[in-house]
Amino acid sequence: MNTLLAVIIGAVTVYLAYTLYARRIDRHVIQSDPKRATPATLYMDGVDFMPTNRNILFGYHFKSIAAAGPIIGAIVAANLWGWLPAIIWLILGVSFLGWASDYSGIVISVRNEGNSLSAIAHRLVSPRSRSILFVFIFFYLLLVAGAFVGIMATVLESQPKVQLGVIVLTVMGLLLGQMLYRWRTGLVGATLLTVGVTFIAILGGGWTEEIFKSFSAGLNGLTGGAPLVTYFDPTLANFQGADAKIMPNLLFWALAICAFCYAGSVLPIWRMAQPVVYVGFWITAVSMVLGLLGAAAASFMKPEVAQFVIPAFKGFNPHLGPAGIMPLWPMLFVTIACGAISGWHALFGAVGTARQIENEADMLPVGGGSMFAEFLLGLLALLAVSVGAKGAPVGAFATGLGGFISVWGIPIQYATSLAFAAFIVIVLVVTQLLFRVQRVTLSEWLGDVFPPVRNQHLSSLICVALAILLMMTGTWIYLWQLFGGANQLMAALSLLLVTVWLASVGKSWLYAGLPAIFMYITTLASLLVTAYNIYSNVYQTNLTAGRVIPVIGSGLMVLVALLLVAAAIVIGIDGWRAFRRYRRQPAAARRPAAARA
C-alpha cells in the first residue's frame, strides 16, 4: 500500500457516495425544493438568519467542523488495530453514516424554522430530552477538554522547539484582534503580518530550544527532580503499561494551556478566541494542503516517505497487556469519530449553518460536502501516521506529515517542526472554544438551580479545574475513547431525532434510522467497555498503590461514562415511543385543530 493509492481510493469514495447515494436521498426522500422558502429568507435579520452563498457557507461550515477530531482519532486507531480497519471504517462511515448525519442536521432545522436540535427534541420527543442533551454536551466537552489538555501538555513538554510558535501564535492572535476591530486595519495586511510572524516563529523554533530546555530543567529542579504525581498509565510503553510521572514542567504547560483557554473563554470573542483561531487556521491549512498534495505526489517524487510502515491489521482484539480489552467492535467506531461521523457536526449544522441556507438545494453540498471534505482530512492523518516512524502516536503523525511536506523541497527538520506545530495549533484553538461552549452549557444547564454558575469566571474555572483533574489520570487515550463514545452517541441521537421527524412527516426513515440504531448500540457498548477498562486498569491499580489524584480522576471518568449511558437509555426510550406514535399517525396526517372563533 502506498499513499497515492489511498488518496485515489479516498477521492473515488467521495465521488461515488455523493453521486450515487447522498444525491438520491436528497432528491427522492427529502425532496429538497429550491423554490421552498428557508428560515434564512423567511426570518432574515441580517445577523443570525442570513441567506448566504453556498460556496461561502461550504467554507464556513467546513472550517467550523474540521478540527482535531479526525486527526487524533486516526492516529490512535492506526496504532491500536492497524491502518486497514481504520481506512475501512473511514470509508464506510462517511459513505453511509457521516454525510447523512451532517446533512440531516441541517435539513431538520431548515424544515423546522431554524430551530436547534434540542428545541426540536423538546417538541417531537419529550420535554426532558432537551435537558438530557445539555448533560450530554457538557460532559462530552469535559472529556475532550481533559484529553486535549493532556495531549498538548505532553507534546509541549517534550518538544521545546514548538513552544516559541505557540507563544507567538497567542501574541499574534491578540494583535490581529486589535488590528481588525480597533485599528480597522485591512484583513489582507493584518493576515500577512500576523500569520507570517507566526510561521517564522514555528520554523525558527530551534533558536530558542536551549532557553526552553534550561527553563524546564529549572522548573523540575524546584522539586529536586521528584515528580509531583506518579500514576500507572496502562497505555504507555506501546500499551504494555508503565508508571508515569507528572513533573513540574508538565504541570506548568498544562496550567499555561488552561490559562490560555480561560482567557479565550471569558474575553470577548473578537479579542482572543476568534483571531487566534484565524491565525491557527492558516498554519493548519497550509500544513494540511501541502501534506495532502505531498501524500499524492510522494510516490513519484520521494517514494521513501510514501510507504506504509505500520502493520495493516493487528487483530480484532489485539493483546494489549494491561491496557485492557480493546475489541475492534465497538471501540474502533468511537476511536475514529469526526472523519467518519460526528455528533458535533449535526449540532453545529442545525443552528449555525441551517439559519444561513439560502436555498434547499444547498443543503447537500454544504452539509454532506463538508463531511466528505472532513473525511479527506481524517484520511490524511491516517496516511501520515501509517508512514511515520513507530513510537508515540503524535510523534509518528508529525514525522509522517513532515515527510509529506518535505516532498515540496522543505528541509525535513523544518517540515517536521511545522507538522508538530500544526498539530498543537489545531488542538489548542479547538480547546479554547471548547471551554467557551462548555462554560455556556454549564450555565444553561445548572444556572436556574445554582445561580452562581451563571458567572462566566466561576463557570470557566469549574470547567478548567475538572479538565485538569481528568488530565491527572494521564490516560488520554481512554479519555479520547470516552469522548468518542459521547460524541458518536450524540450523532446517534441526532439521527434518532431525524428518524422521528421523518416518521412524523410520513417520509421513508431508513437512511437515518439504520445508522442511528447501529451507532446507538455501538456507542453504548463502547462506553461500557471504556468504563470497565478505566475501572480495572486505572482506578483499581492506582487505588492499590494509594495514589489519590489518579483515583479521583479515573473515578470521575467512570461516573461520567455511566451517566452518559443512563442518559442515552432515557432519551432512547423517549425517542422510540415518539417514533411509534408518529408511525401510527404521522403529524402531517393529523387534522389541524379547529380555528377558534
Partner 1 sequence: MRGLSRSVSERVAGVREALSKFLYGMTGYEFARHALEMRHEMEAVFMVVTMGDLIGVPVLPPVYSLRLLPYLVPEVATWKRNMARRKDFWEKEEYDLHAV
Nearest Cα neighbor of 415 from 576, 203, 228 is: 203
Give 4 or 119: the residue with its C-beta nearer to partner 1: 119
CB of 416 to partner 1, least distance (A): 26
Give 495 or 558: the residue with its C-beta nearer to partner 1: 495
Element (H, E) at 217: helix 209-221
Give 351 or 468: the residue with its C-beta nearer to partner 1: 351
Amino acid identity for residue 529 in this structure: V
Exposure of 77 in the CB half-sphere (CA atoms within 13 A): 34
Give contact residues for partner 1 (rule: CB under 8 A). 43, 45-48, 50, 52-53, 55-63, 116, 137, 180-181, 187, 191, 269-270, 273-274, 278, 281, 285, 344, 347-348, 350-352, 355, 436-437, 440-441, 444
Give 348 or 539: the residue with its C-beta nearer to partner 1: 348
Angle, in degrees to the nearest 10, between helices 273-301 and 160-181: 130
CB of 152 to partner 1, least distance (A): 22
Nearest Cα neighbor of 364 from 67, 64, 53, 58 is: 58
Give 189 or 225: the residue with its C-beta nearer to partner 1: 189
Cα distance between residue 326 and residue 80, in whole Å:
8
Cα distance between residue 129 and residue 131, in whole Å:
5
Hey, what's the torsion of the CAs at 124, 97, 476, 456, to 10 degrees? Answer: -40
Length of the chain: 597
Give 60 or 408: the residue with its C-beta nearer to partner 1: 60
Asked if residue 352 lies in contact with residue 110, where contact means CB atoms within 8 angstroms, the answer is no
**CA distance between the termini of the chain:** 73
Asked if residue 334 lies in contact with residue 568, where contact means CB atoms within 8 angstroms, the answer is no
Give 270 or 414: the residue with its C-beta nearer to partner 1: 270
Q: How far is CA 353 from the centre of its chain?
A: 18
Residues 6+ apart with CB under 8 A from 204: 164
Asked if residue 322 lies in contact with residue 244, where contact means CB atoms within 8 angstroms, the answer is no
Give 418 or 437: the residue with its C-beta nearer to partner 1: 437
- Sign of the dihedral defined by the CA atoms of residues 388, 391, 397, 398, in that order: negative
CB of 117 to partner 1, least distance (A): 9
Give 344 or 420: the residue with its C-beta nearer to partner 1: 344
CB of 19 to partner 1, least distance (A): 18
CB of 438 to partner 1, least distance (A): 9
Q: Strand pairing partners for 231?
A: 244
CB of 189 to partner 1, least distance (A): 13
Give 26 or 444: the residue with its C-beta nearer to partner 1: 444
Cell numbers 434547499 correspond to 360
Give 45 or 304: the residue with its C-beta nearer to partner 1: 45
Asked if residue 331 lies in contact with residue 250, where contact means CB atoms within 8 angstroms, the answer is no
The values of phi and psi at residue 244, to 5°, are -110, 155
Give 48 or 243: the residue with its C-beta nearer to partner 1: 48
CB of 30 to partner 1, least distance (A): 21
Omega cis (within 30) before 330: yes
CB of 128 to partner 1, least distance (A): 18
Asked if residue 336 lies in contact with residue 74, where contact means CB atoms within 8 angstroms, the answer is yes
CB of 592 to partner 1, least distance (A): 23
CB of 105 to partner 1, least distance (A): 10
CB of 40 to partner 1, least distance (A): 13
Give 269 or 312: the residue with its C-beta nearer to partner 1: 269
CA distances (Å), 20 to each of 24, 498, 509, in order?
A: 6, 21, 18
CB of 151 to partner 1, least distance (A): 23
CB of 253 to partner 1, least distance (A): 27
Three-state secondary structure of 101-146: HHHHHHHHHHCCCCCCHHHHHHHHCCCHHHHHHHHHHHHHHHHHHH
Cα distance between residue 397 and residue 72, in whole Å:
9
